[in-house]
Amino acid sequence: MKKAVLILVCGVIALLASAAPAADIAGQWRGQFDSQIGQQKYLFKFQVSEGKVTATATAEVERRAA
């Protein structure tokens, strides 16, 4: 599961960085959804400094017994 989350995070960062000027993507984006393993919550933070974009992402996955 960690590998899938990492791929998702990298894909979102690459898409946003290539699709918009750096000044337009600074800020936070939250997402959450239910999945087969429970509620998943994501927080993406984008910072812009001297034309360079840096990002962090956190994920919280609720594990439920099947």
pLDDT recorded at residue 37? 79
Q: What angle do CA 16, 44, 21 make, to 5 degrees?
A: 25
Is the alpha carbon torsion for 19, 24, 28, 29 positive or negative? negative
Query: Where residue 34 falls among pLDDT bands split at 50, 70, 90?
Result: confident
pLDDT recorded at residue 40? 87
The H-or-E segment that residue 57 falls in is: strand 52-61
CA gap 40, 61 in Å, rounded: 4
pLDDT greater than 70 at residue 3: no
Query: Where residue 50 falls among pLDDT bands split at 50, 70, 90?
Result: confident
Mean predicted confidence (pLDDT) in 10-16: 62
